[in-house]
Structures are given as C-alpha cells and as structure tokens.
C-alpha cells in the first residue's frame, strides 16, 4: 500500500507543556516595577494630615505674600520663615500639625498636642503663616497691627486675616529695637545666616533652633529665589 500523501497523514498533537517559560514576563514585570520605584524616589509626594500636596524639597516655592509693597529683602525673609514654619498650600490658615481653619477674624487659639521633637506631649496654639502662639500674636499685634480693635470693641480681637499676619511680622522684623539689630540692613549686606541665627529663638526651625525640619537645609536657596522674585 502506497504511503498516504502528506495532507492525509494523521496529525499527532504536540505534547502540552505544563509550565511554559515565564522568564521574559517576570523580567519585564520587575523592570517596570523598578522604573516606577525610581520615579517615585526622584519626585516624592508629601502629604499632611489634611492630604495636601507638597513638592520635593528641590522644588520648593515660597508662597507669595498677601501684603503688597515693602522692602524686598524683608519680604523674602518672611517667605523663608513661612517655608520653614508652615509649608502648606494655605499657610495663613494652617494650625500646628497641618490642620486648617477657616475663620481668621481672630487668632484661632486652638491648643494642639505636639507629637514630635523636644516638646512632645506639650500643647501649642501655633497658627498661621508664621505660627504665632496666641500670647505672642496678642503682644505683637498690640505693638504692630495696622488696625487695632475699635475702642467700643470690648472683646478686643485683632484680625488674623492674611494681610494682617504679614503686616505685623513685617513691622516686627523691621523694628531695630525689637531685635537689637537692623535686620533689613543685615539682609542688604548679605548676612542671611546671622539673621537666621538671630531669629532662631523665635522661629525654631531656622537652623539654629531646637526643631529643625526637612525645609531647614534649603532656607538659603529658598531666600535667594524669593529675593530674586521680590526684586523684580
């Protein structure tokens, strides 16, 4: 009997392979995961208690002031202080710890428990762009607030609106008697480090205080960038 033509021959199915080679798939998966990890470490996202977004430190932008006019050196210093003390998307509304308040008709005077640093467990009323304690705000507002309460306002609240937070700090920093130093002149002479040292007892995150944070190493660069903007 002649052999069957090729197309009539029975076809024997190929044996099924129980475990195919998954090497290329695994390597591709690991490669993609590695790329994703590198991206996340190069440009990390930071979130506060209210899930607000901060850029990486290298992308820090000191939020512009609500107050208009003034010495550009002092304005840049104010933006630098707030970058260290209240680096959020809404610094004027920020309480210690990152929560926000809406009512700025007066200092919030809300005591929040400190959770890190040498004062852990204590209570602080720090609030606003410059993290004023209630007592400090009342003292400095009494000296520098441009619109003190009317004589008939028996409750005597000083407005804590953004422009007034700025005005009080600007006048305070510009007062040589308050610091035994002419801060605007020191800044014009390029002595930023001396100024930060002088202020570190008041704002403890400025590099010489007791509560440095992730912004502290970047304050020189933050100030220079803010000054360049203010000088324009």
CATH number at residue 97: 1.10.530.10
- Domain with 152 in it: 55-231
Angle at 99 between CA 135 and CA 161, to 5 degrees: 55
Confidence of residue 228 (pLDDT cuts 50, 70, 90): very high
Helices (H), ranges, the chain:
23-42, 72-85, 134-144, 162-173, 176-179, 183-188, 192-199, 219-231
Task: Give, in order, the Cα–Cα distances in Å from 119 to each of 49, 134, 210.
Answer: 20, 17, 9
Please state the domain count of the chain.
1
Q: What is the pLDDT of residues 147-175, one digit of tens each?
A: 877 654 555 689 999 999 999 999 999 99
Domain assignment of residue 107, yes or no: yes
* Residue 191: per-residue pLDDT: 98
Report the C-alpha gap between 65 and 167 in whole angstroms.
Answer: 10
CB atoms inside a 10 Å sphere around CB 63: 17
Is residue 39 in a domain?
A: no
DSSP, collapsed to helix, strand or coil, labels residue 116 as: coil
In angstroms, the CA 128 to CA 144 distance is 16
Residue 85 confidence (pLDDT): 94
- The sign one gets for the Cα dihedral 144, 150, 154, 160 is negative
Q: pLDDT-derived band of residue 188, with 50, 70 and 90 as boundaries?
A: very high
Per the rule left: phi > 0, alpha: psi between -120 and 50, beta: everything else, 32 is alpha
What is the pLDDT at residue 115?
86
Q: What is the DSSP letter of 189?
A: T
Task: Please indicate, yes or no, if residue 196 is contained in any of the structural domains.
Answer: yes
Cα 157 from Cα 169, distance rounded (Å): 17
Q: Is residue 21 part of a domain?
A: no
Proportion of the chain above pLDDT 70, given as a percent: 71
Predicted confidence at residue 52, as pLDDT, reads: 36
Whether residue 27 is contained in a domain is answered as no
Nearest to 137 by CA among 167, 107, 170, 113: 107
Residue 212 belongs to some domain of the structure: yes
| Mean pLDDT across 47-75 | 67
pLDDT of residue 62: 72
Residue 150: predicted pLDDT: 64
Asked whether residue 182 is domain-assigned, the answer is: yes
Find the range with the poorest average confidence among 25-29, 104-108, 176-180.
25-29
- Are 230 and 72 in contact, with CB atoms under 8 Å apart? yes
The predicted model gives 113-118 an average pLDDT of 83
How confident is the model over 64-73, as a mean pLDDT? 96
| pTM to 2 decimal places | 0.73
pLDDT digits (tens, 9 = 90+) for 128-153: 999 999 999 999 999 999 987 765 45
In a domain, residue 208? The reply is yes
């Amino acid at each position: 009997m002649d052999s069957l033509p090729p197309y009539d021959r029975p076809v024997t199915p190929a044996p099924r392979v129980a475990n195919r080679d998954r090497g290329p798939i695994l390597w591709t998966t690991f490669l993609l995961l590695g790329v994703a990890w590198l991206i996340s470490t190069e440009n990390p996202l930071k979130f506060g208690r209210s899930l607000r977004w901060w850029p990486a430190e290298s992308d820090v932008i000191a939020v512009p002031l609500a107050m208009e006019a003034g010495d550009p050196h002092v304005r840049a210093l104010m933006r630098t202080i707030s970058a260290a003390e209240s680096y959020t998307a809404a610094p004027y509304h920020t309480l210690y710890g990152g929560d926000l308040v809406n009512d700025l008709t007066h200092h919030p005077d809300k005591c929040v428990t400190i959770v890190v640093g040498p004062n852990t467990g204590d209570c602080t009323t720090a609030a606003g762009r410059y993290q004023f304690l209630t007592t400090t705000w009342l003292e400095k507002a009494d000296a520098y607030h441009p619109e003190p309460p009317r004589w008939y306002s028996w409750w005597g609240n000083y407005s804590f609106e953004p422009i007034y937070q700025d005005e009080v700090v600007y006048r305070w920093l510009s007062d040589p008697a308050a610091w035994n130093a002419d801060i605007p002149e020191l800044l014009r002479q390029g002595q930023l480090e001396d100024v930060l040292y002088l202020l570190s007892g008041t704002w403890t995150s400025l590099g010489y205080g007791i509560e440095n944070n992730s912004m502290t190493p970047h304050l020189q660069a933050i100030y220079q960038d803010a000054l360049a903007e203010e000088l324009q």
